[in-house]
Amino acid sequence: MMQRAIFLDRDNTLIHNDGDLGDPDEVRLMDGVPEAIATLRRIGYRIIVVSNQGGVARGKYGEADVDRVHDRIRQLVRHGGGGEIDRFYFCPYHPDAKVDQYRCEHPWRKPQPGMLLQAAQDLGLDLPSCWTIGDQLRDIEAGWAAGTRTILLTQSAPPAATVAPDFVAPDLPAATRIISRRVCDH
């Protein structure tokens, strides 16, 4: 049986971060994130985090540091509201990388849908039943390209783009309410 999932961006969706973050001690969850994830799990969604991590390509930290940050996020979410994150996928590649091995335009780098497609293959996901939530248009573009419904997190009107989000919400708890209403209506 195909499953459904929520694809979540990491930075400024789950955690406060406007730059490159490779130190787990600096992880700070956004308000309401643990409870929102617990609610999404309760209504039948797997939780998948998909994140561009260009800081690896820029040599600011390594892939192991990203894994440690993700472990810290998982721990804070679990202890903060009982929610569980199923998987983390990240793209360390960037076309302007300083580190040679990461210099390329990779199909996992959002706005490309590679991470979502890989997760769907790995976990047996029904992409039209899934949602992608993030704070950047590249998140919405990746979700759209993978065939998911999308929610852009923003405090203002979304910018004009070739791909518009299905919904707009100020934060993850509000996005969770949108999804919960859709589930209850069907």
pLDDT digits (tens, 9 = 90+) for 126-161: 999 999 999 999 999 999 999 999 999 997 777 776
Helix (H) or strand (E) holding 152: strand 149-153
Predicted local distance difference test score (pLDDT) of residue 114:
98
Domains of the chain: 5-185 (3.40.50.1000)
Is 171 among the residues known to form the active site? no
| 82 residue type, one letter | G
Choosing from 11, 135, 139, 171, the catalytic residue is 11
d(CA 36, CA 7): 13
Percent of the chain with pLDDT over 90: 87
Mean pLDDT of all residues belonging to the chain: 94
User: Is the confidence at residue 186, as pLDDT, over 60?
Assistant: no
User: Is the confidence at residue 1, as pLDDT, over 80?
Assistant: no
Query: Which residues, including other chains, have CB under 8 Å from residue 157's CB and lie 6 or more apart?
Result: 168
Choosing from 9, 65, 135, 139, the catalytic residue is 9
pLDDT digits (tens, 9 = 90+) for 103-124: 999 999 999 999 999 999 999 9
| 136-173 exposure pattern, b = at least 16 Cβ within 10 A, e = fewer | bbbbbbbbbbbbbbbbbbbeeeeeeeeeebbbbbebbe
Is 11 among the residues known to form the active site? yes
Instruction: Compute the chain's Rg from CA coordinates.
Output: 16
Mean pLDDT, range 85-107, rounded to an integer: 96
Q: How many CA atoms lie within 13 A of 151 on its CB side?
A: 23
Predicted local distance difference test score (pLDDT) of residue 184:
66
Q: Which residue has the higher pLDDT, 2 or 88?
A: 88
**What stretches of the chain show up as alpha helix (H) in DSSP?**
33-42, 54-57, 63-81, 114-123, 137-146, 172-185
Mean pLDDT, range 38-45, rounded to an integer: 96
Predicted local distance difference test score (pLDDT) of residue 162:
76
Percent of the chain with pLDDT over 70: 96
Predicted local distance difference test score (pLDDT) of residue 163:
85
Predicted local distance difference test score (pLDDT) of residue 185:
61
pLDDT digits (tens, 9 = 90+) for 49-71: 999 999 999 999 999 999 999 99
Distance, C-alpha 106 to centroid of its chain: 17
pTM of this prediction?
0.95
Peptide bond before residue 111 is cis, with ω within 30 degrees of 0: yes
Of 139, 15, 7, the closest CA to residue 80 belongs to 15
